[in-house]
Chains A and B, each alone.
Chain A
Amino acid sequence: MSHQGVVMTGNRKDVPKIDSSELKELTEKLITACHILDHEGVTDGYGHISVRVPCADAFVTIANVSPGCVTRDRLIMQDLDGNYLDGAKTPPNEWPIHSCILKARPEIVSVAHTHSKWSTIFSVLPIKLKPMHHYGKFLSADGPPVYQGVGLVRTVERGTELAAALGKAPAVLMRAHGDAVVGESVEQVIERTTRLAMLGEWNHLALLHGEPKYLSAEELKVYNEDQRFPMRGWEYYVSRLGERQ
């Protein structure tokens, strides 16, 4: 189930355990999402996805493991200050990416951080990754902002800077590093992360030929008025995982 449009923060006292039945669906979805990014070639040994614990100042992410290798016992729950709450005791180095964005953006349910080759390349180019296909309709016409800071986002200070660079956008490129993508559901984050990678690839292909005809803000608005299909791509990517197993 998605939680679109519902503000998910809160000071819930009885934060559920990571292996509780309440979180079962969410944690399974998180694992599937990690495997999808791996299977689709977006992540390698690094990268992580987080999901907010409903109505709590806490999130679950993967415990210092490649998204491709994550299992139920390699998940960790932390609060938005990074304190350990439950699960495996090895937080990812860059937990502040998640905590600082989830703190700054109460409507956001899930955050993905990857070293996607396509985000990385556009993070260091003078030319921007811009929507040249309607798959980019979640972005603004001038594309995602770029976080210029150097160094892994291992401190709250850097995490706060990253969240400031993200602002209200759905994604931020991280210079010489990768991206952070946010969404109101895990499915939406996966759709956006895979599409950001496709757009990066297609922008790269197009720029060899000269400047493509990008979509204008007005044209993006037309596309955003069309119906949405948040589960179609998710079902497809899940089916591809089945083949792998």
Chain B
Amino acid sequence: MALSGSETPAFDSENLRELKQKVVDGCHILDREGITDGFGHVSIRVPGTEAFITIASVSPGCATLKRLVMLDLNGQYLGGQNTPPYEWPIHACIFKARPDVMSVCHTHSRWSSLFSVLRGGLPPIHMYAKFLPPKGPPIYPAAGLIGTVERGEALARTLQDSAAVLLRAHGDAVIGASLEQAILRTLQLAFLGELAHMAVAHGEPLYLSQEELGTFAADRSFPARPWEYYLSRIRERHSA
């Protein structure tokens, strides 16, 4: 939870190290799993403060501990490499509107991009859709990168209390109560998009009803298993 007035630790302080490593790992996972390209970002809220850490204008695949930036929720620079991402308001405005959110991912995922311009939405086709609203994620319709607070606030309003929002002709923003959860949901959203796309080739699929979705376990628990798995896949790459 964000507690205004709390003192934000210095960017280089030891107690931010774990958070920073998590951001870098999360970025590398999204890249390794084919979600991001040159663009996209992952952020994490510094617990108990009005600050967050994200990547400093670099591809998620190229993120390092040195290429991170810390900003407050008004976009003021607090430390790190002083090249904030152009779309920092995605993160700042969602963190401001949603005190429950600890992490935000923004990607140009092909599957989110695809369903952002289709007319049928992305209804639940698999139990992974448990974290989404019953009719699928809302779609932010406006053109333009989220480079202003005005656009960031409009995006946060479209997101409302959902766990993900599609950005029309652009991609997605996915939130989590932890960074691990935001990453996992981003991957699951892509999986759902791909499945829905393939299924439609065969005719109208049997989507899950809200009641049916309710019978599956929630995704609220700490997603330690897939996180360990995806970490193992980036470690493979880095040790290869």
* Interface, chain A (partner B; CB < 8 A): 131-135, 198, 201-202, 205-206, 208-210, 212-215, 218-220, 222-223, 225-227, 229, 232-237, 239-240, 243
Contact = CB atoms under 8 A, between A and B. Distances in A.
Interface stretch (B111-119, B153-161, B205-213): B111-119
Given A209-B200, A213-B168, A236 B113 contact: no
Given A215-B143, A219-B144, 18 more contacts: A132-B113, A133-B108, A206-B118, A209-B118, A209-B200, A212-B117, A212-B118, A213-B169, A214-B117, A215-B169, A222-B143, A226-B86, A226-B145, A227-B145, A229-B57, A232-B59, A236-B59, A239-B62
Contacts of A209: 118-120, 197, 200
Given A201-B110, A235-B58, A208 B86 contact: no
A213 B142 CA distance: 12
Given A213-B168, A243-B237, A235 B59 contact: yes
A226 B37 contact: no
A193 to B, nearest CB: 13
B51 to A, nearest CB: 24
Contacts of A233: 37-39, 59
Main secondary structure of the interface of A (DSSP, over half): helix
B224 interface: no
B86 A229 contact: yes
A43 B6 CA distance: 54
B170 A133 contact: yes
> Which of A205, A219, A220 has most B Cβ within 10 Å?
A205
Contact of B108 (A135, A212, A214, A236): A135
B48 to A, nearest CB: 32
B110 A132 contact: no
A89 B195 CA distance: 51
Interface in B79-121: 86, 108, 110, 113-114, 117-120
B37 A134 contact: no
A208 B200 contact: yes
B176 to A, nearest CB: 24
Q: How large is the interface on B (under 10, 10 to 19, 20 to 34, 35 or more residues)?
A: 20 to 34
Contacts of B237: 243
A226 B200 contact: no
A235 B62 contact: yes
Nearest to A218: B143
B86 A213 contact: no
25 contacts: A131-B169, A132-B117, A133-B108, A134-B143, A198-B110, A202-B113, A205-B110, A206-B114, A212-B117, A213-B117, A213-B118, A213-B168, A213-B169, A218-B143, A219-B169, A223-B144, A225-B144, A226-B86, A227-B145, A229-B38, A232-B39, A233-B38, A235-B38, A236-B38, A243-B237
B119 A210 contact: yes
Contacts of B61: 236, 239-240
- The 5 A-B pairs with the shortest beta carbon distances in the complex, nearest first, are A233-B38, A219-B143, A236-B59, A212-B117, A236-B38
Interface in B154-206: 168-170, 197, 200-201
Contacts of B119: 209-210, 212-213
B114 A202 contact: yes
A236 B37 contact: yes
A206 B145 contact: no
> Which of B62, B118, B120 has most A Cβ within 10 Å?
B118
A209 B143 CA distance: 22
B147 A227 contact: yes
B63 to A, nearest CB: 10
Contacts of A212: 114, 117-119
A165 to B, nearest CB: 27
B166 to A, nearest CB: 12
